[in-house]
Chain A
Amino acid sequence: NAGVTQTPKFQVLKTGQSMTLQCAQDMNHNSMYWYRQDPGMGLRLIYYSASEGTTDKGEVPNGYNVSRLNKREFSLRLESAAPSQTSVYFCASRDRGLSYEQYFGPGTRLTVT
């Protein structure tokens, strides 16, 4: 099992450009999440999908859109990148239920100039 995979690992964008971060999991998990990690801020939830076909906003959704393409894949789109979106982005998944842990992907380091 590959677990949670993310592409790309690194990306540099210019202000105003768009891009999509891809995430896939092969553990048959129901729930998937997108977080951003900034120095001193911990992990902040951008969007999540509790199950296939549903998406909900997290703490910091502005400037992002998501698509739960199927049970395996959950993508994050930046329509018009801004320097404030420079961050490390983590995708995660977990099975539904109280006692299940979350599994994280390796992260995507994004720089917006």
Chain B
Amino acid sequence: ILNVEQSPQSLHVQEGDSTNFTCSFPSSNFYALHWYRWETAKSPEALFVMTLNGDEKKKGRISATLNTKEGYSYLYIKGSQPEDSATYLCALYNQGGKLIFGQGTELSVKP
């Protein structure tokens, strides 16, 4: 069983704060790492798919980095807004086609 861990479990920040979360995973047999954004009462939506060590991806105020040798990825949000409130999930893709999710980081941004 692949072990994908995310920290922190929850985070409360003020509007305008920048924040970051961590996703840790086994570094052996790495194929791809996904980040998803999941708003309450909706379905998860993909933010990034990262495949190469050193990958950096950006979408607006959200960016992510990947270190496959040490087994971690960071997700950054610059200048958090209330609409960024959601659960952020990372998931590890393995050779067999499984996509295994971490437990998520729940972000709450207060105006």
Binding site for B on A (CB under 8 A): 31, 33, 35, 40-45, 48, 50, 56, 58-59, 90, 92, 94, 96, 98-107
Contact = CB atoms under 8 A, between A and B. Distances in A.
Contact of A41 (B32, B51, B97, B103): B103
B43 A101 contact: no
B109 interface: no
Given A101-B49, A102-B34, A42 B98 contact: no
Instruction: Give the contact-size bracket for chain B.
Output: 20 to 34
A99 B32 contact: yes
Nearest to A50: B97
A45 B99 contact: yes
A97 B43 CA distance: 22
A45 B98 contact: yes
A33 to B, nearest CB: 7
A42 B101 contact: yes
B101 A98 contact: no
A82 B97 CA distance: 29
A48 B34 contact: no
Contact of B49 (A50, A99, A106): A99
A90 B36 CA distance: 14
A41 B104 CA distance: 9
Nearest to B47: A101
Contact of A90 (B32, B43, B104): B43
9 contacts: A42-B104, A43-B101, A45-B99, A48-B97, A48-B98, A59-B1, A94-B99, A100-B49, A104-B45
